Amino acid sequence: MATLPRIGIVEDQALVLNLLTDLCRHRFGYDVVFSARDAKSALTAVDGSEAEALLVDINLPDNDGISLALEIRKKIPRMKIIILSAECTEYTIFRVRQSGLHGYVDKNADPDFIQAALDSVLNRDLPFFTPLVREIARHTAADSQAFSKVLSDREHELLPHLGMGKTDNELAISRGIAADTVRKHRESIMRKLQLKALPDLVHYCIEKGFLQTRPDGEIRPASWTPSTNSS
C-alpha cells in the first residue's frame, strides 16, 4: 500500500482546524500527523512527526505564522511550508516571498487550492500562490514606489513600530539604538513613501499589512527578518 503524504496543520481556531483536518484527510487523501493551535505546541509537535509539509495560519496567539515557519525551517530545512491567511496584504506577501516559504493560500479562495498547493510543493517541488496573492504581488512589482523597492531592511523593521505610534525615544530604547537614528529613519521613511504626517503613516501601515490584528484583537507590528540590506 502506498504511503499517504504526511502533513501538519497549525491553526488557532478550533472549528477551522477541524474543518481543515477533515478536508485534508477525507477529501484530499493526506495523512494529518499532527495539528496545533499555537506556535509553541507546533514546535513541539513537529519534532518526530515525520511531516513533509505544513499548513500554517499567519495569525497565532503566541507568534506570527511566518516567524514560526522560519523557526521550523531552521530545525527541519527540508520542510515545505504553506501560509494560510484571510488577509492578503502587500507586506505579508512580500515577507512570505522573502522568507523563501513555499506557498500562500488565501483562506477566502476555493478549498481545492489547498490541495493544489500541497500537490505543487510535495510532488513538483514548486511554490504555489493563489490568484489573488499573485495579483497583489504583480501590482507591487509594477509599483516603482513600492516599499519593497524604496525602503532598506532597517526601515522595514522600524516601520511597523512607528505605525503603532511609538515615539523616537520609546523605539530607540526597545531597539537598542539612538533616538536620533530613529528620527532619521522616520524622516527617510516618510520622504520615500511620500507621507506627510503621522496619521498618513499609520494608515499606510494598516493598509499594507505592517500591522496585524492578533486572534485576541490586539494590534501588533508584523515581524520582519532582515536579509542583507540592513542599512
Cβ atoms 58, 92 nearer than 8 A: yes
Domain count, the chain: 2
Is residue 100 situated within a structural domain? Answer: yes
Is residue 230 situated within a structural domain? Answer: no
Are 215 and 198 in the same domain? Answer: yes
Write out the residue range of the structural domain in which residue 153 sits. 147-221
pLDDT for residue 227 is more than 70: no
Please report the pLDDT score of residue 79 as a whole number: 96
Please report the pLDDT score of residue 153 as a whole number: 87
Are 12 and 113 in the same domain? Answer: yes
| Mean pLDDT, the chain, integer | 90
Read off the C-alpha cell for 83.
Answer: 501560509
Work out the pLDDT band at 1, boundaries 50, 70, 90: low
User: Collapsing DSSP states into helix, strand and coil, what is residue 186?
Assistant: helix
Are 126 and 184 in the same domain? Answer: no
Please state the pTM of the whole predicted model.
0.87
Is residue 52 situated within a structural domain? Answer: yes
Read off the C-alpha cell for 214.
Answer: 492578533
Is residue 86 situated within a structural domain? Answer: yes
Are 107 and 199 in the same domain? Answer: no
Angstrom distance (rounded) from CA 207 to CA 166 = 18
Count of CA atoms in the C-beta half-sphere (13 A) of 135 = 6
**The last residue of a domain, from among 84, 118, 141:** 141
**The last residue of a domain, from among 118, 141, 164:** 141
Q: What is the CATH number of the domain that holds 125?
A: 3.40.50.2300
Block residue for cell numbers 516559504: 101
pLDDT for residue 124 is more than 80: yes
Please report the pLDDT score of residue 2 as a whole number: 62
Is residue 158 situated within a structural domain? Answer: yes
* CB-CB neighbours of 212 under 10 Å: 22
% the chain with pLDDT above 90: 72
What average pLDDT does this structure show over 99-115?
94
- Digit-coded pLDDT (tens) for 11-56: 999 999 999 999 999 999 999 999 999 999 999 999 988 999 999 9
**The last residue of a domain, from among 119, 141, 163:** 141
Are 22 and 104 in the same domain? Answer: yes
Are 113 and 155 in the same domain? Answer: no
Q: Kind of pairing, strands 80-85 and 103-106? A: parallel
pLDDT for residue 137 is more than 80: yes
Q: What is the CATH number of the domain that holds 176?
A: 1.10.10.10
pLDDT for residue 3 is more than 70: yes
Cβ atoms 61, 214 nearer than 8 A: yes
Are 23 and 116 in the same domain? Answer: yes
Work out the pLDDT band at 175, boundaries 50, 70, 90: confident
Between 1 and 167, whose confidence is greater?
167
CA angle, residues 14, 129, 148, in degrees to nearest 5: 105
Are 40 and 119 in the same domain? Answer: yes
Instruction: Provide the strand spans (E) within 21-79.
Output: 31-36, 53-57
Are 130 and 163 in the same domain? Answer: no
Is residue 228 situated within a structural domain? Answer: no
Work out the pLDDT band at 177, boundaries 50, 70, 90: very high
- Digit-coded pLDDT (tens) for 57-76: 998 988 889 999 999 999 99
159, 162, 168, 174: CA torsion to nearest 10: -80
Are 99 and 207 in the same domain? Answer: no
Are 89 and 156 in the same domain? Answer: no
Cβ atoms 102, 133 nearer than 8 A: no
Is residue 14 situated within a structural domain? Answer: yes
Are 33 and 92 in the same domain? Answer: yes
